[in-house]
Amino acid sequence: MRLKSIYLQPSVDNVAVVVTNHLTNRITMGPILTTLAVIAGIGLLLVLWIIGMYNGLVTLRNRYKNAFAQIDVQLKRRYDLIPNLVETAKTYMAHEKGTLEAVIQARNQAQAARETVAQNPNSPQAMQGLNAAEAGLTTTMTKFMMLQESYPDLKANQNMMQLTEELTSTENKIAFSRQAYNDAVMNYNNKREMFPSSFIAGTFNFTEATLFEVKEEKERDPVKVQF
């Protein structure tokens, strides 16, 4: 029996050493695992923050693109009405050929600019081109509408009256849609420029959006001659 007790003693000591080493390792690894967990948590939060900022910018960008799509519908309607308007006026305004041709030319330029923007609403250059084309069309149409005041029979024409009414209604819809679009652009640009989302915008190339502003071209003042 004594020999058996002596034989078992080393095993008990080995178990004690193993347990001691295990406890020591746990005590040593505890702070390391905690630090790694904290780092991993911070990294996860950072990734989620970046994703949130990115998705927010995408949402706002898509919102102003959709708003332009609403303008696009009304612009198409406007560009379709203008040739019919000019065709009706030809019979009464035979001596105003230059003005009528200028209206069609301005309409065609605006139509081409609209198609360019429709393909890429995110392009500032395309939107600036549409702004310029619309300003030219607005100026030309204003001259045309003022000129028709000199033709009472044209104003009284039923087809002309109907087309003018439809054009006016379309212009009002364009103005309403333009305001919604510009509001969406402003929200997007503000988000894009404000920190910290500006960092995400710069990293992922969220370019600045351009407002749709139609300003009538100013006529040049007549030259004053003094003697």
- pLDDT for the residue 155: 85
- pLDDT for the residue 2: 46
The owner of tokens 């308007």 is: 85
For residue 45, CA distances in Å to 36, 192, 194, 212 come to 14, 21, 20, 38
- Report cis status (omega within 30 of 0) of the bond before 10: no
Q: Are 19 and 13 in contact (CB under 8 A)?
A: no
Q: What pLDDT, in 10s, does the model give residues 49-103?
A: 899 999 999 999 999 999 999 999 999 999 999 999 999 998 888 888 899 999 9
pTM of the entire predicted model: 0.77
- Of 102, 72, 100, nearest to 85 (Cα)? 100
Q: Are 79 and 103 in contact (CB under 8 A)?
A: no
- Of 91, 87, 131, 92, nearest to 113 (Cα)? 131
Q: What is the mean pLDDT of the chain?
A: 84
The Cα–Cα gap between 93 and 148 comes to 8
The owner of tokens 């630090």 is: 35
